Amino acid sequence: MDQHWPPGTLYIVPTPLGNLGDITLRAVEALKQADLVACEDTRRTLRLLNHLGITKPLVSYHAYSGARRHNEVLRSLQSGKRVALVSDAGTPGLSDPGTPLVQAAVQDHIPVMSLPGPCAAITALVGSGLPTDRFFFIGFLPRRPARAKRVIIQAAASEATVVIYESPYRAAETVRWIEEIAGPTVPVVIARELTKIHEEFLRGSAREIRERLEAKAPIGEVVILFGAQKEEQP
């Protein structure tokens, strides 16, 4: 079925996590139809567009772009341009730039079309082996340890599977906090390099995973998941 791509619309376009074959047909078409692509890193998006054989004007739009760039993109939408919003990898707005632009578009009655596609949190969750009926998505933890621990305490109390984005340099420390807060036997899964050649899932207790990460730090960005502590049988 042909897709209608109305002008003056903000298109939220997920891009591959690593494997370029994961981009959807609708995402490719949205990029072809766009008058402007607002992207986290113009160099990474340019490589993707070159791979797809698409040439489009690019504008950087990230967490540090500031009000001026935000307003420029918003004015492009107001003038009737089709704007595709992309991040470096995955779905824009999930721990990536994009949410303020979507909120401004909604407030200004600008149509927003959200396309389904790659998302590290969901990819890691369904491959983890942990329960998927309820999950608590954190994204990246606060940089300050005290604040990060408070977030983990709140998440652990939900008794749902918790999903955290983390850098490889802080992964061991984060699992150590999980071990302290949720207990040494709570199930933990590390998903790293998702969809790439060296994709890997590490599964074990918090103590086991912490010891493995301390012995050898992971390479590449990781998703950390942990489940609810099993109640002891009387």
* pLDDT higher than threshold 50 for residue 42: yes
Per-residue pLDDT averaged across 80-95, rounded?
94
Are 168 and 161 within 8 A, CB to CB? no
Amino acid 234: pLDDT: 41
What is the band of 167 on the pLDDT scale with cuts at 50, 70, 90? very high
What is the band of 230 on the pLDDT scale with cuts at 50, 70, 90? low
* pLDDT higher than threshold 70 for residue 152: yes
What is the band of 97 on the pLDDT scale with cuts at 50, 70, 90? confident
Supply the Cα-derived Rg of the chain in whole angstroms.
20
Amino acid 231: pLDDT: 55
* pLDDT higher than threshold 60 for residue 162: yes
Per-residue pLDDT averaged across 87-101, rounded?
89
| pTM of the entire predicted model | 0.91
Which pair of structure tokens corresponds to residue 204? Answer: 């074990």
* pLDDT higher than threshold 80 for residue 171: yes
Angle at 164 between CA 162 and CA 167, to 5 degrees: 155
| Mean pLDDT over the full length of the chain | 93
* pLDDT higher than threshold 50 for residue 175: yes
Amino acid 224: pLDDT: 98
What percent of the chain is modeled with pLDDT above 70? Answer: 97
> Which position has the higher pLDDT, 9 or 232?
9
Phi, psi of 25 (to 5 degrees): -65, -40
Q: How far apart are CA 192 and CA 117, in angstroms?
A: 19
* pLDDT higher than threshold 50 for residue 233: no
Are 89 and 17 within 8 A, CB to CB? yes
First to last CA, the chain: 58
